[in-house]
């Protein structure tokens, strides 16, 4: 099985490294010709310092290079996925399209796997998600991920094709639960970063993680996901990782908000857009999601950290 990767960021490149080192046929596409030239000639990606790219991993700035592959990992920002799919429906039809990004599209209000299913209906839509940092994957450190595919037989094929000695992949047919777990944990990571950045302490972070998890479950179940999926790698596992490590871009963004510092605008923070999408969805579906709402307001400067904290602490007392 030939595997193509759309996106030359850290995560897409790291997946390519792991797969190529396992002997798989991998081609990575990125839109920046200079970045492709650096990866092809120097075998380095500046976003993965200290990692040498395998010689059997190919790179191209031409999209036809990945359209020739049976399976394509889509590792571009979640908000750009619909435009990518719409622009290349004919070339993507019949392929295995696996979303490796996490978020909820602000216009469509769907996660990446659902977006694939809607826009390229004759492709196999899947989601690869779970607690993972690009640096760990690229260094060959043990990582467990969830592959979600509604077609269980095809999911089993993809599970076998993408598993390596360092990547242990579990599978589920619950694409809704998997994509929402991956998207919503980014919002909670921002909230956790805010708590630490504002000096609220580890106990506050623990409380946010604990109360944030039921919020994730409420929305996922309302939209058709399974509670058990949220309790697995793609939900709780990813939640713990991203809320407790500065390797998480969403957590670092929250740290900057909490400290009142400027954050690098060139860094993709999927949780910011997701929080705004969730705020809209929670209103439409009449679901109580106070942490997500506060994070959305913070990202748009509609509130500040202390007012956000007071809004959460002034909520009515109730049973856990």
Q: For the segment 285-297, what is each residue's pLDDT rounded down to a tens digit?
A: 999 999 999 999 9
**What CA–CA distance (Å, rounded) separates 296 from 39?**
37
User: Which of these, 218, 266, 217, lies nearest to 239 by C-alpha position?
Assistant: 217
**Confidence label for 306 from pLDDT (cuts 50, 70 and 90):** confident
Which residues form the catalytic set? 185
Please name the fold of domain 3-174: Rossmann fold (3.40.50)
| pLDDT-derived band at 45, boundaries 50, 70, 90 | very high
**Whole-angstrom Cα distance, residue 308 to residue 110?**
27
Pick 176-313's CATH classification: 1.10.1040.10, 3.40.366.10, 1.10.3720.10, 2.40.50.140.
1.10.1040.10
What Å distances lie between residue 49 and 15, 103, 135, CA to CA? 15, 26, 8
The whole-model pTM stands at 0.94
User: Which residue ranges does the chain devote to CATH 1.10.1040.10?
Assistant: 176-313
* Residue 305: per-residue pLDDT: 87
pLDDT at 76 over 90: yes
Give the model's pLDDT for residue 268. 87
Q: Give the residue from 40, 47, 71 showing the smallest Cα distance to 137.
A: 47
What pLDDT does 308 receive?
Answer: 83
Burial class (CB in 10 A: 0-12, 13-18, 19+), 23: exposed
pLDDT confidence of residue 320? 64
Residue span(s) of the chain under CATH 3.40.50.720 come to 3-174
Please tell me the distance from the alpha carbon of residue 178 to that of residue 87, in angstroms, as a whole number. Answer: 26
Up-side HSE of residue 158: CA atoms within 13 Å toward CB?
30
């Amino acid at each position: 099985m030939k595997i193509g990767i759309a996106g030359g960021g850290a995560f897409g490149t790291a997946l390519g490294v792991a797969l190529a080192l396992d002997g798989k046929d991998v081609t990575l596409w990125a839109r920046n010709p200079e970045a492709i030239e650096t990866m092809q000639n120097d075998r380095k990606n500046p976003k993965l310092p200290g990692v040498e790219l395998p010689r059997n991993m190919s790179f191209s700035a031409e999209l036809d290079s990945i359209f020739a592959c049976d399976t394509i990992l889509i590792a571009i920002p979640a908000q750009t996925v619909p435009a990518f799919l719409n622009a290349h429906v004919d070339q993507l039809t019949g392929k295995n399209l696996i979303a490796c990004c996490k978020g909820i599209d602000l216009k469509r209000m769907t996660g990446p796997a659902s977006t694939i299913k809607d826009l390229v209906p004759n492709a196999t839509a899947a989601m690869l998600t779970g607690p993972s940092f690009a640096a760990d994957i690229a260094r060959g450190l043990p990582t467990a991920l969830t592959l979600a595919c509604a077609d269980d037989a095809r999911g089993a094929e993809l599970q076998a094709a993408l598993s390596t000695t360092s990547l242990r992949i579990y599978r589920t047919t619950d694409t809704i639960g998997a994509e929402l777990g991956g998207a919503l944990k980014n919002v909670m990571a921002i909230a956790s970063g805010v708590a630490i950045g504002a000096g609220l302490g580890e106990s506050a972070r623990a409380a946010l993680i604990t109360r944030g998890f039921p919020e994730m479950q409420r929305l996922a179940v309302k939209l058709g996901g399974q509670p058990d999926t949220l309790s697995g790698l793609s939900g709780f596992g990813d939640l713990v990782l991203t809320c407790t490590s500065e390797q998480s871009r969403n957590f670092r963004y929250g740290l900057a908000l909490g400290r009142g510092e400027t954050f690098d605008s060139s860094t993709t923070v999927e949780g910011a857009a997701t929080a705004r999408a969730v705020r809209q969805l929670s209103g439409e579906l009449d679901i109580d999601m106070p942490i997500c709402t506060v994070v959305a307001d913070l990202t748009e400067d509609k509130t500040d950290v202390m007012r956000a904290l007071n809004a959460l602490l002034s909520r009515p007392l109730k049973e856990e």
